Amino acid sequence: MPTPEARWHPACCTLAAEVIHMTITLPGLIILIIIAAICGAIGTALAGGVRGGFIVSMVLGFIGTLVGPWIAHQLKLPEPFVVHISGQSFPVLWSIIGAAVFVAIIHLISRR
């Protein structure tokens, strides 16, 4: 039975979750971008490095933020080091691990 938070979406004939509005302040966003860049740079260094600067590290940090916690959830592992900024949580350790895994996969695919 659908939960009260879910509603029927007729366009795709599936249940769609309610839209959640997230707000973040500009200083909070800047701090999250800097933390993501640091996590991406560390993850990249652990996995052997890729070309690029701050922007590449930032993107890898955010990709690591998606990949790392997913891996942790699949393996039922805790998130030991989480930073909370402007009401948003950022799993630092799993972001680094996720970025390293993502870079390693890129290396395997590109055979570099």
Residue 79 lies in a domain: yes
44, with CB counted inside 10 A (0-12, 13-18, 19+), is buried
pTM of the model: 0.69
Q: What is the pLDDT of residues 3-62, one digit of tens each?
A: 555 554 455 555 555 666 667 788 888 888 888 888 888 888 888 776 777 788 888 888
Classify residue 6: in a domain, yes or no.
no
What pLDDT does 17 receive? 59
Neighbouring CB atoms inside 10 A of 33's CB total: 14
- What is residue 9's predicted lDDT score, i.e. its pLDDT? 46
Provide the domain limits for residue 48.
22-110
Inside any domain, residue 4 = no
Element (H, E) at 13: none
Residue 67: how many other CB atoms lie within 10 Å: 21
41 assigned to some structural domain? yes
The verdict on residue 91 lying in a domain is yes
In a domain, residue 1? The reply is no
Residue 2 lies in a domain: no
Provide the domain count of the chain.
Answer: 1
